[in-house]
A and B are shown apart, each in its own frame.
Chain A
């Protein structure tokens, strides 16, 4: 899933303080699961905004809503459409995709991001999310037995680990982040195929990912003739 973190409250409040009708719009999928912008967070944030408005003597009407996904047209139903059109500003707790999709669907409305979209990751344990994929567009997990050096090594080393790996941890964050090169090494060792690590992995083709420009997938088999 996409993992985000809520922006600092001060920044969020500055985004919306000059408006009267504010809609705090949550996302029921990724942002709910990573607890950055689901129904609960929408409720808490709305209460915080009301308090801050009162404290600053501002006249702010705060409405709230959470839809299943902000990146899919079908979830912007009549109720959502009405609430969005009624507001001066939408504070979206969707990821960066959600924010932009609302702008596309409702060009008249001002939208502000309430979260910082961080990465594609997994919920490893209660309260802990870790990056696992960088969306490089040409997956090489087959070559690394399921551990991604692109997303999980601080230097994206395809022929790692570098000389900074110590006690299984990455030099960039020796407290919290495991060295991907070490993990790959251990996996190959366990699978009895260490010798395969001798193979020199050639430079990666980055053009399938963001480096090739904005991504586009067009599936004609799924398109309707209009």
Chain B
């Protein structure tokens, strides 16, 4: 992370740079060409978050492209964090898409490996995985800072062409809960070394583990080298909690959370309450620079939660 001068001019970067506690949301593009679906969701998020992640064929299901959806969001005044996975595209396609995204005004990209295609609706597909998420972070970093493609060529159209590199604020994911546990801080460090500017973490349902992870992060002073946004998703029901606990690899739950959800009369309200408590704690946690609020299928609910968490109004968005 370059803390001396602005690298991308993105709103998210400016908010983080100013020291303000950042808030990002998430928008899942539809399984159709329905642009209104994106517009509708963008309306709920606009003004309530600093930027919104646009998922890239999430859970390996073919959807409206993250870049196209990101451009629709831009038109609506919502800053996108375009997600790019290495599952579906090789280094050629990704670099081409990054140039295209930058030319269309996109300034944040989150680099992911992506869920394996066997989880999605085209399990017979050939996967790509030409590069992994770390190599993608590094590729974007070299494109921005060294102004070169992966192959080493300068990013310009011919010898006399103007060097026009993509100015991208580079994001990566971190999972404090996956195994091997003691490797997770190392992996974060690796992503920082590769060139990540900001990190969004896996959803927290195990605050004890997250606290421990952050402590390790602080010990290594990694929080001074990268902006960390902690992942929060309000649980909708005890069933959802149990399902995730059993079926989603890399997410862990404390018994306490499951118990609270099971005992609650109104589970949805309880889930929201837990999320709000988490945000309260995260706001005070040293080294956490913001929250990534993923309300699954609940773009509508973001405003209310942000409001109640005292995160509104957001700093005025700067575009351009």
Contacts and interface: CB of A to CB of B under 8 A. Distances in A.
Interface of A: 154-168, 171-172, 174, 179, 182, 185-186, 194, 197-198, 200-203, 206
Contact of B250 (A158, A166, A194): A166
Given A159-B135, A166-B250, A203-B131, A198 B189 contact: yes
Contact of A203 (B116, B135, B174, B190): B135
A163 B250 contact: yes
B179 A167 contact: yes
Contact of A163 (B129, B189, B202): B202
Contact of A155 (B127, B138, B189): B127
A200 B250 contact: no
A159 B183 contact: no
Contacts of A161: 178-180, 183
B131 A155 contact: no
Contacts of B186: 194, 197-198
A154 B116 contact: yes
B180 A186 contact: yes
B182 to A, nearest CB: 9
Interface of B: 87, 91, 113, 115-116, 118, 127, 129-135, 138-139, 150, 173-175, 178-180, 183, 186, 189-190, 193-194, 202, 249-250
Residue among B173, B179, B189, B194 with the most chain A CB within 10 A? B179
Contacts of A206: 130
B135 A158 contact: yes
B155 to A, nearest CB: 17
Nearest to B151: A203
B179 A200 contact: no
A165 B179 contact: yes
A163 B202 CA distance: 9
Contact of B249 (A159, A171, A194, A200): A171
B183 A185 contact: yes
A185 B150 CA distance: 27
25 contacts: A155-B87, A159-B132, A159-B134, A159-B190, A161-B179, A162-B132, A162-B178, A162-B250, A164-B116, A164-B250, A165-B179, A165-B250, A171-B249, A172-B116, A172-B118, A174-B249, A185-B180, A198-B186, A198-B190, A202-B135, A202-B138, A203-B91, A203-B131, A203-B139, A203-B150
Given A172-B116, A200-B193, A160 B132 contact: yes
Given A159-B133, A198-B189, A200-B138, 12 more contacts: A155-B116, A156-B129, A158-B132, A162-B132, A162-B250, A163-B178, A163-B250, A172-B118, A174-B249, A197-B183, A200-B135, A203-B91
A203 to B, nearest CB: 5
Nearest to B134: A159
Given A158-B132, A206-B130, A198 B183 contact: no
A76 B134 CA distance: 50
A179 B173 CA distance: 19
Contact of A166 (B116, B127, B173, B178): B178
Contacts of A158: 132, 135
B206 to A, nearest CB: 13
B101 to A, nearest CB: 20
A203 B135 CA distance: 6
B188 to A, nearest CB: 11
Nearest to B138: A200
Centre residue among B150, B189, B249 by max chain A CB count within 10 A? B249
Contact of A165 (B116, B127, B174, B178): B178
A155 B115 CA distance: 9
A203 B94 CA distance: 13
Nearest to B202: A163
A201 B175 CA distance: 20
Contacts of B134: 159, 200-201
A147 to B, nearest CB: 14
B130 A203 contact: yes
A162 B113 contact: yes
Given A155-B113, A158-B132, A198-B189, A168 B91 contact: no
A194 B187 CA distance: 11
A180 to B, nearest CB: 12
Contacts of A165: 178-180, 249-250
A202 B135 CA distance: 6
A168 B178 CA distance: 10
